[in-house]
Amino acid sequence: MAETEWLSIGAGDAARRIAVLSREGKGAPVVWLGGFKSDMASTKAAYLDAWATRGDRPFLRFDYSGHGVSEGRFEDGTIGRWLEESLAVIREYAKTRPLLVGSSMGGWLALLAARRLAKESPQFAPLGLVLIAPAVDFTEELMWKELSAEARREIEEKGVYLRPSAYSPDPYPITRNLIEEGKHHLLLGGTIQTGCPVHVLQGMRDPDVPWRHALTLMEHLSWDESVITLIKDGDHRLSREEDLARLVAAIEGFDPS
């Protein structure tokens, strides 16, 4: 296993160190962007690391601040903060144009990163995006609009709501700052420019990101070559052996090397 490296980001009270695992290899680097409250030791990230090792492929994964072993409090996190970290890691560690693989929240971040990189750092503009149950605009569409009136009131008055999770015994803190800051990064109000093709993998039994949400994303993508694979019995995680095989096939479909 690669040794953990640390990337310093921000200054003053916003300073934090991000934990990074970077594997060298040949071909386009594959960059893993994990989900909300997930980390780089997740099943899919570990599976891709093993795949990259077998094929001598460069693979890059990291923990957002407040996730995994990176510094920072989860409650301080926002889409903009985690996007800043994603861009910093890609610019620091990717040697050439990458393939971005984003899961759930990471799918939203991958789309945002692709847009920023194409504009600001074209040498790192992605060759393609593989998005797993992409939770685009989730702070607005899949959280705020779905919360009860009581939960919304807690966020507005107390600044945080402890939302029960099916993936952890502990509730997830949903902060007012997360919701409000997320409004600055919404994508579904217009055409989404990626600068590259996109392959979406979406389970139709996903209770967190409905498959129709993924179809809405497809309607907004500008790239004609973008495709979606709907997995009828697939859940949100898509971590079964057959799901992982589909994930690798989608990546290799962009870059067979």
The residue type found at 209 is V
Cα separations in angstroms, 215 against 114, 141, 209, 224, 226: 20, 14, 11, 14, 12
**255 tagged catalytic:** no
pLDDT digits (tens, 9 = 90+) for 126-172: 999 999 999 999 999 999 999 999 999 999 999 999 999 888 888 99
DSSP, collapsed to helix, strand or coil, labels residue 30 as strand
**236 tagged catalytic:** yes
Judge contact between 55 and 48, C-beta under 8 A. Answer: no
pLDDT digits (tens, 9 = 90+) for 174-200: 999 999 999 999 999 999 999 999 999
Measure the CA–CA gap between 36 and 20, rounded to whole angstroms.
17
**224 tagged catalytic:** no
How high is the mean pLDDT of the chain?
Answer: 96
Q: Which entry of 38, 42, 104, 226 is annotated as an active-site residue?
A: 104
Measure the CA–CA gap between 30 and 256, rounded to whole angstroms.
12
Over 70: is that where the pLDDT of 1 sits? no
Is residue 223 very low, low, confident or very high in pLDDT (cuts 50, 70, 90)? confident
pLDDT digits (tens, 9 = 90+) for 6-26: 999 999 999 999 999 999 999
Query: Exposed, middle or buried: residue 147 (CB in 10 Å: 0-12, 13-18, 19+)?
Result: middle
What mean pLDDT comes out for the span 21-48?
97
Q: Which entry of 49, 63, 137, 206 is annotated as an active-site residue?
A: 206
Tokens of residue 244, six digits? 């992982």
User: What percent of the chain stands above pLDDT 90?
Assistant: 93
Domains of the chain (ranges, CATH numbers): 5-137+191-254 (3.40.50.1820)
Phi first, then psi: give them for residue 130, nearest 5 degrees. -115, 120
